[in-house]
Structure 1
């Protein structure tokens, strides 16, 4: 999971004694792969980054990027200081699309990247829900909701995911997600075209986003509506469906312009995400709920309405996820020794810079 917060930069380069025990955390996202190595006090001593590491979409290149980021992290913060891979004693890797690692041929490629970097401990691969929860709170129990391109919620007990809701993918679910917003914006436009009604500000913006080379201006003739409808349907169906999520930004921009349709879509998205959470939580639950992803972010209108809706329906703190790789590294400390999973270490590894 990738959430837009950077790890706090260390004040000084940490100089390690030869016998120092280290842990490794990883975040394999669709657009980036990030690795952090830390000592038992939660000090970052190495970090690496590479291109996307989602094992579902392109496993071979994802595994290669995984290995590249590991090797970079092992050079340490000081390029002259190479970390001994055998001193890494515990590792937790968060992976978007992590279920692909259950396939032997995919797992073999990631195992080769791991051992090729000289690492000998056995990494624990977990999903982005667990990573997001750990990045938002050091509590052992609670719930988490990710709403970005897709959407999913999870119930966490003793730092482990025990139940999920939604996360069914764009074809079957992901209600209230960026994909949902984009699809519903386009559907509302097509309904208006079918009825020969004005398409409004959001509709005009969707036309511009999907058909950027089309001449600007309203559509007045019924024949014109039919031609526009056909152009939209043909263009959208020629692209990967997930690209509809790009229209979420168009909805938000129209929302900021007080477009009526955009307001209705944003409100409905927040309601659907609240319903997803309600599949896992009851009104008596008082553990924290961690929100992650761009749609659920504090700067998003969906995120703002969602936070209010959650507070109206549930008890417990509503928190925002920080850097996923920091959460994974903190979980690795706990895997090494539960006594190391302290709040202080969590703050050092996860909290955004002031």
Structure 2
């Protein structure tokens, strides 16, 4: 028996949502793939997780991880009661690097993982900015800033992304991101070595992170400085550039320990991220701003400075993104029926499980 919940569709069609209908939310990032399935009251009935699902870098493995996480979620929280794929009526999936899904050969791999799990509804793929915003607030309008390995910002109207700033990638932008912090930390070390100056606590931490097996006694000699510079340059250039983002943790730790060079980098990162937000917002905007990503987190010194800077420059609440897959699942409820996108369901879905 269908629930008497009419769902308006395009061209005036009215569809009744069947009893027992479910929705699916997904959060596909560079390091993890997460899927949640929920009922119409916002209760999660299935969860799945796998390795990275970003389709840009490794589409085949990303699609495989996507399929694995779906299968895990369909198994249900209670093994005695698996989820019926036919009851999943809407799906919203946030994807980092989602533009790769516009390539037919990549989309085909994701479609195969989807249909192979027995799912029949059409998945809606959206960007990670929309998912991050929805995870932080049930508001329809506002802005969102993600600062992790990369950085980008978005303006949201009626739960949809209408404009973006930065997100240009490590070569062209991502100002203030983890990659930016790592690159600038390395540049500060190389600059000191060029000048024959002490590299300081941050520089020593960078050297230990990049060259963990190096004999540090060589650093004390002038020729040791030359060798150190060459070793750093050779090692960094032999690895994928994005791995410089791993040095962001080194910068944050040094900043918290009182290193002046690290603090200067953290302060500049916060300024750049505030400028990115400023490309989208004006001083009269009063919608919430949701901050997401490890660099913008509340425990990060960059995150703390961003929050203060944002409050100094813009009106509106500054909120922290919560469970991304929960935000996507809440959006899926709203796609099925706007009335289901309630504040209560939002709280239930974005609060991580104990």
**TM-score (normalizing by structure 2):** 0.93
Cα distance per residue 1:227-257 (max 9 Å; x no partner): 1111110010000000000101111111122
Distance 1:353 1:39, change over 3 A: closer
Task: Give 2:30's aligned residue.
Answer: 30
Gap regions ≥5 residues in structure 2: 1-17
Write the distance in 2 (CA, Å) between the matches of 1:219 and 1:121: 61
- Give 1:217 deviation, angstroms: 4.2
Contact in 2 for aligned 1:291/1:297 (Cα 8 Å) = yes
Task: Give 1:11's aligned residue.
Answer: none
Q: Does 1:341 align with 2:341?
A: yes
Write the distance in 2 (CA, Å) between the matches of 1:333 and 1:107: 24
Contact in 1 for aligned 2:218/2:225 (Cα 8 Å) = no
Write the distance in 2 (CA, Å) between the matches of 1:61 and 1:353: 27
Task: Give 1:330's aligned residue.
Answer: 330
Task: Give 2:140's aligned residue.
Answer: 140
- More relative contact order, 1 or 2 (CA 8 Å, 6+ apart): 1
Cα distance per residue 1:158-204 (max 9 Å; x no partner): 00100000000000000000000000000011111111111111111
Distance 1:131 1:89, change over 3 A: same
Write the distance in 1 (CA, Å) between the matches of 2:184 and 2:320: 26
State the secondary structure of the residue aligned to 1:24.
Answer: strand
Q: Does 1:52 align with 2:22?
A: no
Gap regions ≥5 residues in structure 1: 1-17
Distance 1:199 1:218, change over 3 A: farther
Write the distance in 1 (CA, Å) between the matches of 2:218 and 2:104: 54
Deviates more, 1:49-58 or 1:159-168: 49-58
Task: Give 2:9's aligned residue.
Answer: none
Q: Where do residues 11-22 of structure 1 align in structure 2 (5 Å cutoff)?
A: 19-22=19-22
Task: Give 2:180's aligned residue.
Answer: 180
- Give 1:19 deviation, angstroms: 3.8
State the secondary structure of the residue aligned to 1:145.
Answer: strand
Contact in 1 for aligned 2:165/2:276 (Cα 8 Å) = yes
- Give 1:23 deviation, angstroms: 0.4
Q: Where do residues 1-354 of structure 1 align in structure 2 (5 Å cutoff)?
A: 19-217=19-217, 219-352=219-352
**TM-score (normalizing by structure 1):** 0.93
RMSD, aligned α-carbons: 1.2
